[in-house]
Amino acid sequence: MSATLIHGKPLAERIRSEVAAEVRAIGRIGLVTVLVGDDPSSEVYIRLKHKAAVEAGFDTTDLRLPADIAQDELLAKLAELSESDDVDALLVQLPLPDHLDEERVIRTVAPAKDVDGFHPLNAGELYLGRPAIVSATPRGVMALLEEHHVELDGARAVVIGRSDIVGKPMAHLLLQANATVTVCHSHTRDLYRHTLEAEVLVVAAGIPALVTPDMVAERAVVVDVGMNRTAAGLVGDVEAGVAEIAGAITPVPGGVGPMTIACLLENAVRCARYRRGDLAYPS
């Protein structure tokens, strides 16, 4: 392997201990997570988030609601939590069961408590170049790139994936760092033509081995956001052989994953600061 491995754990641990110090300084930060139903992957994610939040000293509530909860009942609960003085940060684990309207659910979370940064107001502030609360995974990627001194100003960056959770906010953050950004998706023709141009390639498609060594420029920095559960275990979207070509690459697991949780906790501290008035939420 010629590529440098960009591990997420060391930076994530540093961020988590900084967060713990901030929680101690603030006194109490109330974080509520809401899990609807019993999707096994969601259970795992919620467990990991809770463990990290408890370790950092948050006052956490792990609210479990039945898979068949009525839409109105869920919205009423979220509105109540959004208004509660005990709640600084609120997270609804996605995806939701099919009968629930995800967009309405996201809109019901108070924007300044929206620890995931999915509310249209938070997405809009990012789009306008005034980021308030930003989705944790792309923030984690940016922190990793900065930690590893990856030059973004003027760089050609390619993002594969345009989801509201990863791809779009990722592209906006790279754009704000003055990269020249191309966003690819399932309708992109000749994906390799774009990826071969990339000095920084962020892959978030959810397709194992989507990116093969012949699609990557020598010395490119490759960030593999993919997390795919396969018979061979947890794998990313980037084939292992890419590490022979790239200059640096994030492993899966142990790359972006740990950063997502660390940045989520940072977001929760930010929510608490908004509520205390230490920071002004855009209005």
Kindly name the residue from 77, 88, 114, 116 that is annotated as catalytic: 116
Q: Of residues 126, 165, 243, 248, which one binds ligand NAP by CB under 6 A?
A: 165
Determine contact, residues 249/202, Cβ cutoff 8 Å: no
- Number of chain residues interacting with ligand NAP (CB under 6 A): 26
71 counts as catalytic:
no
CB nearer ligand NAP, residue 163 or residue 176: 163
- Nearest approach, Cβ of residue 203 and ligand NAP (Å): 8
Q: Does the footprint of ligand NAP cover residue 160 (CB under 6 A)? A: yes
Stretch of 63-71, 104-112, 123-131, 220-228 contacting ligand NAP, by CB under 6 A: 220-228
Residue closer to ligand NAP by CB (options 71, 186) is 186
Residue 166 lies near ligand NAP (rule: CB under 6 A): yes
Closer of 87 and 105 to ligand NAP (Cβ): 105
Residue 49 annotated as catalytic: yes
Which of 137, 182, 195, 267 contacts ligand NAP by CB under 6 A? 137
> Within positions 188 to 217, which residues make up the interface with ligand NAP, using CB under 6 A?
188, 191, 204-207, 210
Rule CB under 6 A: is residue 257 a binding residue for ligand NAP?
yes
Q: Which residues bind ligand NAP (CB under 6 A)?
A: 137, 160-163, 165-167, 184-188, 191, 204-207, 210, 225-228, 256-257, 260
